[in-house]
Structure 1
């Protein structure tokens, strides 16, 4: 895919995530946002905190990878590792994935700050994507969070983060609907 089109699509997806979060999740009460349908499920806040933990790692990694811009290819390429990583987090992939322990927010005490941090990360991600227009998206420059000896190409890593966010924002939307259905008195 053409690099400019690729980055524009990722930027549009992040803007949709911002809009969804602001329009559908932010207006809900803290009780709804903390609601869990069962012990194994995540609340809206837990879904967003999981994404915040990834953003705390990947956003600085992206910025570091782009410190020395050098555009090399007009097309975005994929490695075997990149293709596999994207398939795992793709929102349409119905398979549940087990998260690494330090990225699992289950049981955390969470508040509205989680939602605000998530929106701040989205703004920062948009800035990274804008800056990526001058970067080599095919350069293996971003260490994988849970096994840093492995590296993804910059383009693959950017797409990974956006798809991962889409997947968990959809999960957060489902959690919010379950909370509203199970406890209509919580809805404000």
Structure 2
């Protein structure tokens, strides 16, 4: 379980990592792939952008509609929330098949992907700040691929952060493989 402050610190760290370690790479390096079914650095970021395009507005709406009720600052977890979080934890190295419209494999991407990612992080930090005055345990965030299911606000925030951690680590591994490839 992470607090909103811990989630914010993680997002600040991810922003910094992308801004310093990934944005300085040239476009060929950003698009480098070990194999045709692996993701490049930019594809990892585009995958996260696709999630942010859905979840940031959904979270914004959920937070805005739950400012009036009782403030519940501690995240508690539903079965769906626990399952979702376990699946995206960075420590869980098991590959998961992503839904087709969230899979950026073989996309034509450029530096705008990085800028969009960084902008989403600024927006997410604002959402985390706004969530401090809401009931984090209100089921109010529809799951992207099956909107009848809803995550609690706190679960959804933690899901997004863990998911981003997972794929930024994947992008950094891609950068590392490229470094080994060019050094060999």
TM band (smaller chain): over 0.9
Question: Is the CA contact (8 Å cut-off) linking 2:73 and 2:134 kept in structure 1?
Answer: no
**1:152 equivalent in alignment to 2:151:** yes
> Aligned equivalents of 2:73 and 2:104: distance in 1?
38
Q: Which structure 2 residues correspond to residues 33-182 of structure 1 after superposition, within 5 A?
A: 33-68=30-65, 69=67, 70-182=69-181
Greater Cα shift, 71-80 or 128-137? 71-80
**Which among 7, 14, 19 is matched to residue 17 of structure 1?**
14
Displacement of 1:178 after TM fit?
1.1
TM-score of the aligned structures, taking structure 2 as reference length = 0.95
> Aligned equivalents of 1:88 and 1:156: distance in 2?
13
Displacement of 1:40 after TM fit?
1.2
Question: Is the CA contact (8 Å cut-off) linking 1:71 and 1:137 kept in structure 2?
Answer: no
> Aligned equivalents of 2:22 and 2:73: distance in 1?
37
**Over the residues paired in the alignment, what is the CA RMSD in angstroms?**
1.4
| Structure 2 alignment gaps of length 5 or more | none
Consecutive aligned runs of 4 or more in structure 1 exceeding 2 Å deviation: 70-75
**Closer/same/farther in 2, CA of residues 145 and 27 from structure 1, 3 Å limit:** same
Question: Is the CA contact (8 Å cut-off) linking 2:73 and 2:136 kept in structure 1?
Answer: no
Query: What SS is found at the alignment partner of 1:111?
Result: coil
Question: Is the CA contact (8 Å cut-off) linking 2:45 and 2:113 kept in structure 1?
Answer: yes
Displacement of 1:183 after TM fit?
3.1
> Aligned equivalents of 1:164 and 1:16: distance in 2?
14
> Aligned equivalents of 1:157 and 1:74: distance in 2?
14
Number of matched pairs? 182
Displacement of 1:120 after TM fit?
0.3
Greater Cα shift, 80-89 or 67-76? 67-76
Displacement of 1:179 after TM fit?
1.6
Query: What SS is found at the alignment partner of 2:33?
Result: coil
| Structure 1 alignment gaps of length 5 or more | none
